[in-house]
């Protein structure tokens, strides 16, 4: 019964920020996300190995190489995402998870729910993006 209730738990604003229950919730969410990525990655790798046959037709070979290139880029993005998930798990164990790296203020629960690897509050992220845009326009 307790396990069932835990799976239905959602952090709310009316409880202490990053209490044990919230930290456990986000830890489990991050671990499940990482597990999904790793499973998908293994499936992709198996499919790539299966697909690595030689295609006698040049068009088929080109298409296969394009698909392979797209898959490898996706795997690289997944590798970077896993690194960010691991960093978030480390912040949970250090007790710094959920706090903005720039301001030290709590990151909104809704933001963490949508993007559990977030390191900046919405305000700090928007300021960061504005600065980035200014530098890009130069």
Q: Give, as one character, the DSSP assignment of residue 119.
A: -
Q: HSE, CB side, 13 Å, CA atoms: give it for residue 23.
A: 15
Strand partners, 99: 106
Return d(Cα 85, Cα 81) in angstroms, integer: 6
**pTM, two decimal places:** 0.78
Q: Give the model's confidence band at 2: pLDDT under 50 very low, under 70 low, under 90 confident, else very high.
A: very low
Statement: 17-97 belongs to CATH 1.10.10.10:
no
Q: Return the domain boundaries, the chain.
A: 17-97, 99-138
> What is the tens place of the pLDDT at every residue in 64-109?
778 778 888 888 899 999 999 999 999 999 999 999 999 999 999 9
């Amino acid at each position: 019964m307790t396990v069932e209730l835990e799976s239905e738990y959602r952090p709310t604003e009316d409880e202490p920020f990053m209490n044990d229950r919230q930290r456990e919730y986000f830890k489990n969410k991050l671990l499940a996300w990482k597990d999904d990525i790793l499973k998908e990655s293994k499936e992709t790798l198996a499919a790539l190995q299966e697909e690595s046959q030689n295609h006698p037709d040049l068009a088929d070979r080109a298409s296969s190489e394009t698909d392979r290139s797209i898959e490898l880029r996706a795997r690289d993005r997944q590798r970077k995402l896993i690194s960010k998930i691991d960093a978030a798990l480390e912040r949970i164990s250090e007790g710094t998870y959920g706090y903005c790296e720039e301001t030290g203020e709590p990151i909104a629960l809704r933001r963490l729910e949508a993007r559990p690897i977030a390191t900046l509050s919405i305000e700090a992220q928007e300021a960061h993006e504005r600065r980035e845009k200014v530098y890009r326009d130069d």
